């Protein structure tokens, strides 16, 4: 398990549930909040962040476009710029609550911002996150125990291959939520309305059918037990992109820490076709 994934609930987390996206980002920029973003800015799109050298940007963008279920591309900065203006007042250097820094594919350290690391030859990408649809499930009576407990979803390397582009490839990574069997059809219908946030599940039921031997042993995130009456439900995960850039062993790459997403100004239910990609 990724040691960075284990979460604690900030004492101000419950108060932040009522805070709008702009104010929440200001708190993050000030260093006043560095916790997980489950359930925050409930009507807005949340996004994974990927930063890498711009000489690899074209290949990575094509990788995302060829693997839209795992890597729904919702924003791209101009080369050398940390700004993602089509998503709001977003600066990739300090608008995620916490960052992971990778050197040649290995996790080097964690930081509260990446201002000192930013270079003119970097590019930033935003990929829609499934956190975006969690509020809609909860409002419809679907229990999401990892969210309530402030834990990072368990994520697994599956046996489903991605379409490789340049140095980027590898397996699809999936996240798992335990869902009551009577809620499965509701979950499929609700999440299908969010194609920019991974959409409907890619698999329901037996994990071995997608190459997962033991759901008690996730590759990232926190293990989550199945209770009586629950079924494991799997979604394509933006961690697929992180897996791909780690495999590419770039001299530097940066992501948000799992569970600590970018909060955008985009409405959660926006049509995916509305995104403008530079």
CB atoms within 10 A of CB 31: 11
50-87 pLDDT, tens digit per residue, is 999 999 999 999 999 999 999 999 999 998 999 999 99
- The domains located in the chain, with CATH, are 18-131+241-268 (3.40.1640.10), 132-239 (3.30.2040.10)
H or E element, residue 48? strand 44-53
Residue 160: per-residue pLDDT: 97
Does 103 have pLDDT greater than 90?
yes
- Whole-number Å distance between alpha carbons of 31 and 201: 35
198-226 pLDDT, tens digit per residue, is 999 999 999 999 999 999 999 988 898 89
Where b means 16+ CB within 10 Å and e means fewer, 189-204 reads: ebbeebbbbbbbbbbb
Q: Which residues have CB under 8 Å from 145's CB, separation 6+?
A: 178, 224
Strand ranges for 104-229 from DSSP E: 106-111, 122-128, 155-161, 171-180, 203-204
Q: Which residues have CB under 8 Å from 152's CB, separation 6+?
A: 5, 6, 7, 36, 146, 220, 221, 222, 258, 259
- Whole-number Å distance between alpha carbons of 217 and 214: 6
- Whole-number Å distance between alpha carbons of 218 and 212: 9
Give which of 63, 38, 64 is closest to 130, Cα–Cα: 38
Give which of 125, 39, 16 is closest to 77, Cα–Cα: 125
Which tokens hold the place of 6?
A: 């284990």
Which tokens hold the place of 19?
A: 């805070």
The rounded mean pLDDT for the chain is 90
Name the pTM for this structure. Answer: 0.89
Residue 7: per-residue pLDDT: 47
- Whole-number Å distance between alpha carbons of 262 and 90: 8
Least confident of 26-40, 74-88, 152-166, 241-255: 26-40
């Amino acid at each position: 398990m990724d040691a960075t994934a284990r979460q604690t609930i900030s004492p101000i987390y419950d108060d932040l549930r009522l805070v709008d996206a702009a104010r929440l980002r200001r708190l993050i920029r000030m260093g006043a909040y560095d916790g997980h973003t489950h359930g925050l800015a409930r009507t807005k799109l949340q996004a994974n962040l990927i930063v890498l050298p711009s000489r690899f940007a074209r290949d990575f963008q094509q990788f995302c476009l060829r693997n839209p279920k795992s890597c729904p591309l919702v924003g791209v900065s101009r080369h050398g710029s940390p700004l993602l203006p089509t998503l709001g007042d977003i600066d990739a250097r300090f608008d995620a609550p916490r960052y992971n820094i990778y050197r040649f594919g290995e996790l080097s350290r964690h930081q509260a911002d990446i201002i000192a690391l930013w270079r003119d030859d970097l590019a930033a990408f935003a990929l829609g996150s499934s956190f975006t649809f969690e509020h809609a499930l909860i409002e419809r009576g679907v229990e999401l125990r990892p969210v309530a407990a402030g834990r990072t979803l368990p994520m697994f390397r599956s046996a489903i291959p991605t379409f490789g582009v340049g140095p980027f490839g590898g397996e699809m990574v999936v996240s798992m939520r335990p869902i009551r069997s009577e809620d499965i059809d509701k979950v499929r219908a609700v999440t299908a309305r969010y194609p920019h946030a991974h959409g409907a599940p890619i698999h329901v039921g037996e994990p071995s059918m997608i190459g997962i031997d033991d759901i008690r042993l996730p590759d990232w995130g926190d293990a989550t037990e199945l209770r009586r009456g629950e079924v494991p439900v799997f979604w394509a995960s933006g961690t697929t992109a992180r897996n791909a850039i780690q495999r590419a062993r770039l001299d530097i790459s940066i992501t948000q820490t799992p569970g600590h997403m970018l909060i955008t100004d985009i409405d959660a239910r926006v049509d995916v076709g509305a995104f403008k990609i530079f």
